[in-house]
Amino acid sequence: MTVLSTKEFVEKYGLMAKKALGQNFLLDSNITDKIIRLSMQAQGLASLENERFIEVGPGPGGLTQAVLKQHPAKLTAIEMDERCLAILEEIKAFYPELEICAGDALKFDWQKKICDEGKQHIIS
């Protein structure tokens, strides 16, 4: 069994992007994979294996899955849209390094997260 693609998740859950939340779902894995690859090059990273990430507003998990395919040490996803939390839980079943935080990133305890876990890359 494999994890569904972002497009399949959007179809399964009947999701429509909420403009009030500024949502825009990235459905093409070729694009999300390229974003991650180019970001790695820009940061001089050959691998994400020892890297930690915080993703603000992962939605249905387009960038989330692209990062997780690179096997980071940890990816913390902060999502306030309850419709997307079930999708993230399904993704987590395949990637235990995914931590899901339900809530508003503006109210997130950034200082505690960074003090407890050290350097993090932030993506959105």
Residues 6 and 29: beta-carbon distance below 8 Å = yes
Residue 56 resides in a domain: yes
Token pair belonging to 50: 């020892």
Residue 68 resides in a domain: yes
Number of H helices, E strands in the chain: 5, 4
Per-residue pLDDT of the chain (124 residues; tens, 9 = 90+): 899 999 999 999 999 988 888 888 989 999 999 999 999 999 999 999 999 999 999 999 999 999 999 999 999 999 999 999 999 999 999 999 999 999 999 998 888 877 888 888 899 8
In terms of Cα–Cα distance, which of 96, 105, 123 is closest to 32? 123
The domain spanning residue 79 has which CATH number? 3.40.50.150
Token pair belonging to 108: 């997130």
What is the tally of structural domains in the chain?
1
Q: Which domain holds residue 78?
A: 6-123
Residue 1 resides in a domain: no
State the pTM of this model. 0.90
- Amino acid occupying residue 77: A
